[in-house]
Amino acid sequence: MDSLRFLRILLLSSSILLLSLRSTVTAGDIVHQDNLAPKKPGCENDFVLVKVQTWIDGVENEEFVGVGARFGRRIVSKEKNANQTHLVFANPRDSCTPLKNKLSGEVVIVERGNCRFTAKANNAEAAGSSALLIINNQKELYKMVCEPDETDLDIQIPAVMLPQDAGASLQKMLANSSKVSAQLYSPRRPAVDVAEVFLWLMAIGTILCASYWSAWSAREAAIEHDKLLKDAIDEIPNTNDGGSGVVEINTISAIFFVVLASGFLVILYKLMSYWFVELLVVVFCIGGVEGLQTCLVALLSRWFQRAADAYVKVPFLGPISYLTLAVSPFCIVFAVLWAVYRVHSFAWIGQDVLGIALIITVLQIVHVPNLKVGTVLLSCAFLYDIFWVFVSKKLFHESVMIVVARGDKSGEDGIPMLLKIPRMFDPWGGYSIIGFGDILLPGLLIAFALRYDWLANKTLRTGYFIWAMVAYGLGLLITYVALNLMDGHGQPALLYIVPFTLGTMVTLARKRGDLWILWTKGEPERACPHHVRLEPCSEK
């Protein structure tokens, strides 16, 4: 591996920790804390997203997403039970005084402001409206609640808040068309979407591939090392000097890794904008190209051994194999095409391919040498996740991690350091996503477990890898459960994954009497030939 490529991979791997967040992207951004909106008789609806499908002169047109009010009649959940009803603007527009409109079941559109939400709803109902659409004065959706001193809450029509841009579109429709109608309904989101199952399998499969590649490489290096020992070669290459392209994390670098990621996360939060996301896309493409190239070269070298072993010197890059030169253009074109078409519905496929290749490559390059370093790294990441998802709300008045993950203020649909799959059977659409850190960080420990098992000649049942893998899968599964119980609010996945994975490793090691070896050396002791005394091995 040339030094330039190696440096780029390491730089990008230090930023992967930024998105150790498991969340679901939904249609519509709702602001207003539920605990500031207590329920009371006549004002006890759950907040739900509402679809507002429009028709112009009988032809289906735009669909908008709003949020239902705490008060008023509940909105039907099935589209077939929702009626198409004419849309009209209120007169006066704010509906703070009795309407001059003489309505007969129309859906009335009013502007936010100048009086309470319930006053607008009561005036609209008194004028004969069948539903109320309130246009917000901002782009976000706001949860409409009742004031503590309100008593006139016997409202029998549904009320829905729409964002400002939806109001502008509706006004244009009504100005240019003779007949505009709408249909209001709130379909229920499925408890589990098949996308979450595929994402779970994708995370498991990525760690499996990376762990077996890492363990195979470690075993090949150990076999070669033992062969050199048996031949009594005086000078044996040191496999820990970076020549093999492997970097081992130590305790200090594990702590610094998390501190660096925290600083970079704050920079992202403060500088989040369109151009900054574009810069991240470029960085991601560079890492994705390197990862995809590394994986393809390793795979194809089995069939094109000569091309993999023959090298040519390239200015500024050093010696590069012919196979790498042949694969690189494909990887570059793939990444560029993804960057150009990343806003399209199919772009998630390219993002996942580049992301998985990058994660596998980083897990191949970066190693945890022992359980001590793995414990420090995952414990710091555990605290990092909790702090930036939950505690940061106290300091920044919003969750820094979730704001960065969504790409707020950037005009983009989140930043690219995520694996994502479209929610296939969710009527609200959106994506199920998982941060790279939720795979990479536990993957470092799991790959270490498999390397130890292979070097110690342990079976699948008596080793540590299978149990660490099962623990990771359960931890990620609990994350999905917590996400659904929290009504889709972002959850720090490492809050659940780290206790399962790390706890299982430490408990098993203590029970089997391997804790000291795993904690300090990280690999089984190998006996030296009697005629050779070298540092890497020791006598039993």
* The 3-state secondary structure of 468-516, one letter per residue: HHHHHHHHHHHHHHHHHHCCCCCECCHHHHHHHHHHHHHHHHHHHCCHH
Helix (H) or strand (E) holding 159: strand 159-162
Q: For strand 85-89 and strand 311-314, is the pairing parallel, antiparallel, or unpaired?
A: unpaired
The pair of three-digit structure tokens given for residue 49, joined into one six-digit string: 């997203």
In angstroms, the CA 518 to CA 149 distance is: 64
In angstroms, the CA 69 to CA 2 distance is: 59
The pair of three-digit structure tokens given for residue 293, joined into one six-digit string: 């190239």
Q: What are phi and psi of 182, to 5 degrees?
A: -145, 160
In angstroms, the CA 283 to CA 292 distance is: 14
Q: What are phi and psi of 413, to 5 degrees?
A: -90, 65
Percent of the chain as helix, strand, coil, to the nearest 5: 50, 15, 35
In angstroms, the CA 60 to CA 80 distance is: 15
Classify the C-alpha dihedral 10-404-24-20 as positive or negative.
positive
In angstroms, the CA 99 to CA 156 distance is: 17
In angstroms, the CA 39 to CA 429 distance is: 29
Chain Cα centroid distance, residue 45: 31
What does the DSSP 8-state code read for residue 40? B
Catalytic residue annotation: 385, 438
Query: Cβ distance 161 to 144 under 8 Å?
Result: yes
Helix (H) or strand (E) holding 282: helix 274-300
In angstroms, the CA 232 to CA 531 distance is: 7
